[in-house]
Amino acid sequence: MTALLTSAMAFSMLQLFLLGALGPRLSDELHVSPTVLGLTTTVGFGAAAVLSPLGGRVVDRVGPRRCLVALLLASAAALALIGSAPSTGFLLAAVALGGLPQALANPATNKAILAAVPPARRGSVTGMKQSGVQLGAFAAGLPLTALAGVAGWRGAVWTAAGAALVAAAWAARTLPADPPPKSTPAVWAPRGTIAWLSAFSLLLGCGIASVNTYLALYGARRLGLGPTAAGALVAVLGIAGIAGRIGWSKTAGRPGRAVWLPGGLAAGAVAAALLLSASRYAHPLAWAGAVAVGVFAVAANAVSMVLVLQRAEPGRAGQDSALVSAGFFTGFAVGPTAFGLLAEAGRYGSGWLLVAAEFAGAAAVALVWAVREYRLVQERDRSEVRR
């Protein structure tokens, strides 16, 4: 089941990684400007942010199996339409459809883990399935980019759509049947820990989305890399993200450590963004920056999902996951728009400094929350001693 959940996470966001990795080719054929390339991310994640609260409620009501099959079918449809896009307007409409699988991904996979995985293994399994997102980044940045060099970018995207259909059939045959649908109380606004994690995820998402969207274009236009080598930057980020998500999520499975991890990882992400900014003067630093973004920033999102599983209200894992995801997706929708304006003016260095500031904001939110949680635990312990 872990392999299937990992695949579902990979397909849920594959379209946007593909658009970033294939950005130089899209720019040439469809005349996609850096601003419009950022707009594809804004549209996709804006749709996901709007749909996430509803998606979480649907998962809690109908179960993870039905939702995972629907996720993979929607991914296949969105990829097929992107591969058929005759213009930027059609492309943006197809990307908007891709917001649906993103909205279902974390609620459905987290719900499946709570239903089938023992508590002691949930941290490591969550890290594995969250690494699927970076597996998608790797697939977009290396094999699919290489395929685009032979079959064209449309052929590469259509190949990905066919793979999503195969995964949908796999999910339908493999996952256990869902329980009968049940009514669950609707929760539309995050509260308590979920509110803090949503704010953290929003700022983290702003920075990660900018890196995902513009790293390949930056490599091609400012560092002098060819299209395949520029796409490999995204693949390197993906590989590092897989390792970071698996390793840090396993560590976060120990509740005492999980509270402090998001702030520390976001602080590491600040250093990663500064490396990207400095790569204007020393090009090899771009590769080090890509690795560091994967190890720290991308891994921090997986750790936040482990915390959701640890803190979710009974019967509300889908909705709580969706609310945190909505914050992350909102960041993904907002971040590339601001970066795109700077990229349009050729100010990539300023763009990476903006990313560093966004990661610094995420670190501040996470550390304030961790101190608050620590004090609450200390007060609780003192109260128990007085009793």
CB 348 within 8 A of CB 342: yes
Any idea what the Cα angle at residue 362 is, between residues 360 and 366, rounded to 5°?
120
Consecutive 10-residue runs of the chain (387 residues): their mean pLDDT?
Answer: 89 84 75 75 83 85 88 94 86 90 90 82 84 79 83 90 93 81 63 89 93 87 84 83 88 78 95 95 94 93 87 76 88 85 89 96 95 81 64
Q: What is the per-residue pLDDT for 9?
A: 92
Q: What is the per-residue pLDDT for 386?
A: 62
- pTM higher than the cut 0.85: no
Q: What is the DSSP letter of 279?
A: T
Q: What is the DSSP letter of 387?
A: -
CB 122 within 8 A of CB 1: no
Q: What is the per-residue pLDDT for 32?
A: 73
C-alpha–C-alpha distance, residues 134 and 117, integer Å = 22
Residue with token string 């699988």 = 101
Residues in the chain: 387
Q: What is the per-residue pLDDT for 300?
A: 93
C-alpha–C-alpha distance, residues 138 and 141, integer Å = 5
C-alpha–C-alpha distance, residues 317 and 315, integer Å = 6
CB 37 within 8 A of CB 16: no
